[in-house]
C-alpha cells in the first residue's frame, strides 16, 4: 500500500515552495516527491487539509476500534436512558390455569437468522377444552406424532412432577407440541399454529362424523425416540423382567396366607 501523505510529511522541519505545479507533482508522483522541503507545522498547505482515511491503521485495529465504539454506545445507553425505562417496568405475574399454551420464540439479539421466524407451541392435553374421553382419544389420533405420550415419573424431575400435579391434577394425558416456520414473520407462524390447534379441537369435539374409537393409539414413535436418546434404556433392570416368563422352579413362592385361602 502506498504511504499516505500525512506520514510522508513527518520527516523533518523543512519547507517547500507553495506552487500549483508542486502540489500537482505531489498528487501524481506521491508524497515523497515533495516531502523533502515540506514543513510539518505548515497547516495552511492543502495537503494537510485532506480528510483522514484511516490509512495508518490495519484492518484488525479498525475492527477493534469499532467494537470499542459499540461498547461505549451501550454504556452510554445504560448510563443515560435506562433510568427512563423504570417507568415501563412490570411485575411478573405467573400464568393462570386458563393460560396453558406456552409459545416459544427465538431471537438472535437483532441479527437476521432463518430460525428467528420459527414458532413452537406446547400445551398439555388435559388442559385443552375436550368434551369427553372419546374426544381426547380422537384428538390424539389427529395430532399424530405431534402428541407426546406422558413420560414415567422416573424420567421426570421431582419438581416437574409436583408442578404438573398442582396445575393439571393427577391425570396426565401427555403434551401436544407443534411448530411452524413457513411464513416470513414470527407472528404469522404463531397465528397459523393457533388456528391449526383450534381446528384440531373443533374436529375432535365433533363426534357425530367419526369417533375412531376402534383405532388404537400408536406410541412406537415415542418409544423409539426415548430409546435413541438413552432415556428408556437406563431404566430397564432385572426387576422389569416379566415374572411369567420365568421357569416354574424360579418363580417366587406365594405367601402362606394366599395358599390357605386358595
> Over the chain, what is the mean pLDDT?
76
Residue 193 has a pLDDT of 95
pTM for this predicted structure:
0.55
Task: Check whether 19 has a pLDDT greater than 60.
Answer: no
Give CA separation, 47 vs 2, 16, 29, in Å.
16, 12, 14
User: Do 33 and 25 contact (CB within 8 A), yes or no?
Assistant: yes
Residue 9 has a pLDDT of 46
Does the CA dihedral 83-88-91-92 come out positive or negative? negative
Domain ranges of the chain: 1-77, 102-235
Mean pLDDT calculated for residue range 179-199: 94
Contacts by 99-107 with C-beta closer than 8 Å and gap 24+?
100/124, 100/127, 100/128, 101/197, 103/190, 105/186
- CA-nearest of 197, 213, 211, 208 to 147 is 197
CA atoms of 207 and 186, how far apart (whole Å): 34
Task: Check whether 56 has a pLDDT greater than 80.
Answer: no
Task: Check whether 72 has a pLDDT greater than 50.
Answer: yes
Q: Are strands 147-148 and 119-124 parallel, antiparallel or unpaired?
A: unpaired
Cell of 197: 390447534
- CA-nearest of 194, 204, 180 to 100 is 194
Residue 4 has a pLDDT of 46
Place of cell 401427555: 174
pLDDT tier, 3 (very low <50, low <70, confident <90, very high otherwise): very low
Mean pLDDT calculated for residue range 96-108: 87
Q: How many CB atoms lie within 10 A of CB 99?
A: 10
257 vs 134: which has the higher pLDDT: 134
Burial class (CB in 10 A: 0-12, 13-18, 19+), 108: exposed
CA atoms of 75 and 83, how far apart (whole Å): 13
Q: In the CATH scheme, what architecture does the domain 102-235 have?
A: 2-Layer Sandwich (3.30)
Residue 194 has a pLDDT of 94
- CA-nearest of 124, 214, 212 to 169 is 124
Amino acid at each position: 500500500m502506498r504511504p499516505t501523505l500525512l506520514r510522508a510529511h513527518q520527516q523533518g522541519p523543512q519547507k517547500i515552495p507553495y506552487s500549483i505545479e508542486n502540489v500537482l507533482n505531489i498528487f501524481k508522483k506521491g508524497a515523497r516527491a515533495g516531502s523533502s522541503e515540506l514543513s510539518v507545522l505548515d497547516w495552511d498547505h492543502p495537503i494537510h487539509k485532506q480528510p483522514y482515511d484511516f490509512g495508518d491503521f490495519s484492518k484488525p485495529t479498525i475492527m477493534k476500534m469499532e467494537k470499542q465504539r459499540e461498547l461505549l454506545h451501550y454504556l452510554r445507553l445504560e448510563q443515560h436512558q435506562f433510568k427512563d425505562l423504570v417507568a415501563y417496568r412490570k411485575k411478573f405475574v405467573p400464568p393462570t390455569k386458563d393460560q396453558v399454551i406456552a409459545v416459544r420464540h427465538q431471537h438472535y439479539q437483532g441479527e437476521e437468522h432463518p430460525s428467528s421466524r420459527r414458532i413452537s407451541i406446547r400445551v398439555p392435553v388435559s388442559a385443552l377444552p375436550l368434551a369427553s374421553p372419546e374426544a381426547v382419544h380422537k384428538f390424539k389420533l389427529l395430532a399424530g406424532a405431534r402428541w407426546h405420550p406422558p413420560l414415567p415419573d422416573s424420567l421426570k424431575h421431582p419438581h416437574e412432577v409436583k408442578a404438573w400435579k398442582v396445575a393439571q391434577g393427577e391425570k396426565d394425558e401427555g403434551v401436544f407440541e407443534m411448530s411452524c416456520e413457513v411464513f416470513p414473520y414470527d407472528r404469522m407462524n404463531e397465528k397459523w399454529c393457533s388456528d391449526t390447534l383450534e381446528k384440531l379441537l373443533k374436529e375432535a369435539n365433533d363426534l357425530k362424523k367419526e369417533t375412531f374409537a376402534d383405532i388404537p393409539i400408536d406410541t412406537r414413535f415415542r418409544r423409539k425416540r426415548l430409546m435413541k436418546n438413552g432415556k428408556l434404556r437406563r431404566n430397564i433392570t432385572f426387576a422389569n423382567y416379566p415374572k411369567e416368563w420365568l421357569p416354574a422352579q424360579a418363580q417366587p413362592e406365594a405367601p402362606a396366607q394366599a395358599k390357605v385361602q386358595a
